[in-house]
Structure 1
Amino acid sequence: MSTPAETQIDQLLDFLHIVEKLKRTKRTGWINSGINQPESIADHMYRMSIMSMLIEDPSLDRNRCIKMSLVHDLAESIVGDITPFDGVTESDKHDRERRAMLHISELLGHSAAAAEMVELWQEYEACETAEARLVKDLDKFEMIIQAVEYEKSDAKSLDSFFESTRGKFRHPQVQAWVERLYLRRNCLN
């Protein structure tokens, strides 16, 4: 018979095993594009977190942006990486991810950390705060910078990733990064 403390630790370990799936789950868009050795969801979230640290905007809560980058795809540890081409409606995808986040919260005993993760995920999904809008920009920017890297390593064109994000960046610093990335990409072609 486990003590309450042991049960809590067991639940934490179960949560960490779920999070580990983010390290093994490859991003669907890259798999569908035939990329050799595509990045994992965790790889994507990690670089977004680093990008959040690089934003120089005193009007934003940078620590909140870093945390949001770390959890924005956490539900994918349970539901997988669902893309717009998977035949799942946006509302169904959101509902699946919401249920996954609730499961994660329950697994962590509705702790303060679990509540913060769910809150950050909800904020990201609603995209109503400046921090959420920035992290949405970083999500798209991380994808296209990765696309440039795959175009070089796999010698293929990934124009569709650039077309799907063109004109959608809002934050001025990210817009400057995007413009420079486009220039550098054009020099490679």
Structure 2
Amino acid sequence: MAANPSSLSSSPHCSLPLNRSISPRFHRTSLNLAFFNNDPPSPRLVSVRAQNPSSESGSGPKMASHLDGTEASSSSSAIDFLTLCHRLKTTKRKGWVNHGIKGPESIADHMYRMALMALIAGDLPGVNRERCIKIAIVHDIAEAIVGDITPSDGVPKQEKSRLEQAALNEMCEVLGGGLRAEEMKELWAEYENNSSIEANLVKDFDKVEMILQALEYETEHGKVLDEFFLSTAGKFQTEIGKSWAAEIISRRNSRLANRPN
């Protein structure tokens, strides 16, 4: 996610217990990363088991194959990966927490509505809709490990990207590597580098989703969340992003104009 006021989770992360007997075919993978909450950053250790894709002996589950002949992650590696991704459902976006929003959205909530945006957007010349949906689902996936880092945490943009890249690599190792893991890395890098028209569009959806959520929280909680609108002003890259943002801002202006003094 591009650095913005709502781009960090509030929950501290801890090591992930995987309640399964350890087969000799499993090895430990550990990644020292900084985790962030409302306190100053402090290093925590994430340690998860991953299937060793090169192992060919032992009683553990073996690598499966798709009908097209490509190697797939084993069932155990897939469930390890999905269990790690559970954190995306439970980690709240820190920008809302910092503004006192009760029951704020999770990282997964944010990514899901972005994927819906990609699904319902009108056809655009040269834009691969399926790729947009995939980028939306993957763009914040590393936050399952590092959390949702905001400017208020004082982490330089380059360091934030490094931490997220390392976390993504760790998650792909948990998955067992292979084509799907490489695809996730490619999609994430495409978004991070804003290197395609699809990435441009999903970057806009990221901002549109944030200001739409801000408007909803303003309405629900009687707050004024100006900074989320100010931080995105003039930064939309695509016509659909500009159009949707303008509609949200128009609705907000009408609401503010009609609000009782």
The TM-score, its normalising length taken from structure 2, stands at: 0.70
For the 8 Å contact 2:89–2:106, the answer to whether it is kept is: yes
Give the drift of 1:4.
2.5
Following the alignment from structure 2 to structure 1, what is the Cα–Cα distance between the partners of residues 244 and 116? 14
SS at match of 1:85: helix
Shift of 1:119: 0.5
What pairs with 1:28-47 in structure 2 (closer than 5 Å)? Answer: 28-47=94-113
Q: What is the alpha-carbon distance in structure 1 between the residues aligned to residue 243 and residue 61 of structure 2?
A: 54
Whole-angstrom CA distance in 2 between matches of 1:180 and 1:21? 32
Which runs of no fewer than 5 residues in structure 2 stay unpaired? 1-58, 65-72, 257-261
- What amino acid sits opposite 2:251 in the alignment? R
Distance 2:97 2:164 in 1: 21
Matches within 5 A, 1:1-189: 1-5=59-63, 8-56=74-122, 57-189=124-256
* % identical aligned pairs: 48
Matches of 1:2 and 1:130 in 2, distance apart?
43
For 1:11 and 1:88, the matched residues in 2 are separated by 32
Higher strand share: 2
Structure showing greater radius of gyration is 2
Between the aligned partners of 1:108 and 1:14, the Cα distance in structure 2 is 7
Partners in 1 of 2:243 and 2:103 — Cα distance? Answer: 29
Root-mean-square deviation (Å): 1.3
Partners of 1:120 and 1:128 lie apart in 2 by 10
CA deviation string 1:45-95 (max 9, x = no partner): 000000011222132001000000000000000111111111111111101
Unaligned runs of 5+ in 1: none
Instruction: In structure 1, give the amino acid aligned to 2:130.
Output: N
Q: What CA distance in whole angstroms lies between the structure 2 residues aligned with 1:92 and 1:146?
A: 27
User: Per-residue CA shift, 1:97-151, capped at 9, x if unaligned?
Assistant: 0001111111122121111111100000010211111111100110000000000
Where 2:153 maps in the other structure, the secondary structure is coil
Q: Find the residue that maps to 1:184 and give its secondary structure.
A: helix
CA shift for structure 1 position 96: 0.6
Q: Number of aligned residue pairs: give it.
A: 189
Q: Which amino acid in the other structure matches residue 2 of structure 1?
A: G
2:125 match: secondary structure: coil
CA drift at 1:36: 1.2
Relative to its length, the structure with more helix (as a share) is: 1
